[in-house]
Amino acid sequence: MNYSSVTGRLATLGSAKWEVHFTARAMAAAGESILEMTIGEPDIPPDPRLLEQVTRSLNSGRISYASGRCEPVLARALTEKYRKYRPTVTERNFLALPGAQTCLYTVIMAIAEAGDAILVGDPYYATYEGIIRASGAEPIFVPLRPENGFHMKAADLEAVITPKCRAVLINTPHNPTGAVLSAAEIAAIGQVCLRHNLWLISDEVYADMVYEGQFVTPFANPDLAEIVLSIGSVSKSFAAPGLRSGWVAAPEEFVDRCQPLAEAMLFGNQPFIADATAWGIANQLTTGREFGSHCLRRARLVEEALEGCNLLRLHRPEAGMFVLVDIGQTGMTSHNFAMALLQQERVAVMPGSSFGANLEGYLRLSLTTPDEVILEACQRLRNFAGRIRGR
């Protein structure tokens, strides 16, 4: 039978990046005791009032077809939320979809196709390459350098731009590094985009999890009003990834052009979930900030637990729910290290290579497990590093 070319483009970009995670899950299913620090899923419950709102809306009959653009109640809530960034925003500036992943897919499909390119920082969230290649475009990677705290720099961006480029995809706060771009850095990146007629796509799902200081969005920069496509969701901010509720804040013309594409795929998100999302936004739930505080404390636990081990050097995150550990001094690849750690110590972590060539030599550890699991995992990580040192 025949398949479209997209299946070939994505064939190696899905589960292959998660080999360590899936191997760990298979071992656990077979009865092994595994300390899992691979994926990031909030381990605190959502606000019970949010769940009550889901139930209330569901029971009220909000299970009919949705608006293909954005349910009115959610559009109103988003308008109020984003007016603190841009006073001129209206309900026509939003497109709602089931989760940030769907938002990213829709946005890329709307602006890129075969022969085009999308600029994205390396390291990058594991699904970004697949989203870009699904459109037929190719990613062009902008190096995010450890010496710059993995912050994207305008000069590094401009150095790799080609005539094929259609957009820059930034992620702030950043997964997997935890980097948070400043207003000055965003403005400089935005000026590069303006000079080269590029969209600026900003994945902001960790906006509520900045450890210190304030989150900055390019949506707030008036100079960039016609090029910024800002993406948010409730997965981290409300600790509710299963609700699959996300949105795009964008110029009205862009939303108008995207709406038929969104309707061709999904025809909006579920009305009862849109109601709950709107309620959570309007009531300014603090779940995400509380979870960010948990993750900061756990990041400090990891730092203390690994202190003094020269083969394992922690990179301090500025936000989010992960920490990076530099294993470059071990001489092992990140994949081989992670697989050996799993087999010998029953600790599952993500190899940096799953997030791009620029994160080779690092491990990503999730902070979404209880303190005692984190401490035990760090001790086993030290034990494994000690055996490497003794070779």
pLDDT tens digits along 249-270? 999 999 999 999 999 988 878 9
**Average per-residue pLDDT for the chain:** 95
pLDDT per position as a tens digit, 107-151: 999 999 999 999 999 999 989 999 999 999 999 999 999 999 999
Give residue 12's pLDDT: 77
- The CATH number that domain 48-282 falls under is 3.40.640.10
Rounded to 10 degrees, the C-alpha dihedral 322/326/330/334 comes to 50
* Nearest Cα residue to 339 out of 34, 20, 14, 24: 20
Give residue 9's pLDDT: 86
Average pLDDT over residues 273-295: 96
Q: Where are the domains of the chain?
A: 5-45+287-389, 48-282
pLDDT per position as a tens digit, 206-220: 999 999 888 999 999
Residue 96: is its pLDDT beyond 80?
yes
Q: How confident is the model at residue 6 (pLDDT cuts 50, 70, 90)?
A: confident
CA distances from 7 to 14, 133, 197 (A): 11, 10, 30
Average pLDDT over residues 180-204: 98
Residue 203: is its pLDDT beyond 80?
yes
Amino acid identity, position 142: V
CATH 3.90.1150.10, applies to 5-45+287-389: yes
Average pLDDT over residues 374-378: 97
Average pLDDT over residues 97-101: 95
Give residue 13's pLDDT: 73
Residue 298 and residue 44 in contact, taking contact as beta carbons nearer than 8 Å: no
Distance between CA atoms of residues 319 and 292, nearest Å = 7
Q: What angle do CA 135, 139, 145 make, to 5 degrees?
A: 150
Give residue 144's pLDDT: 98
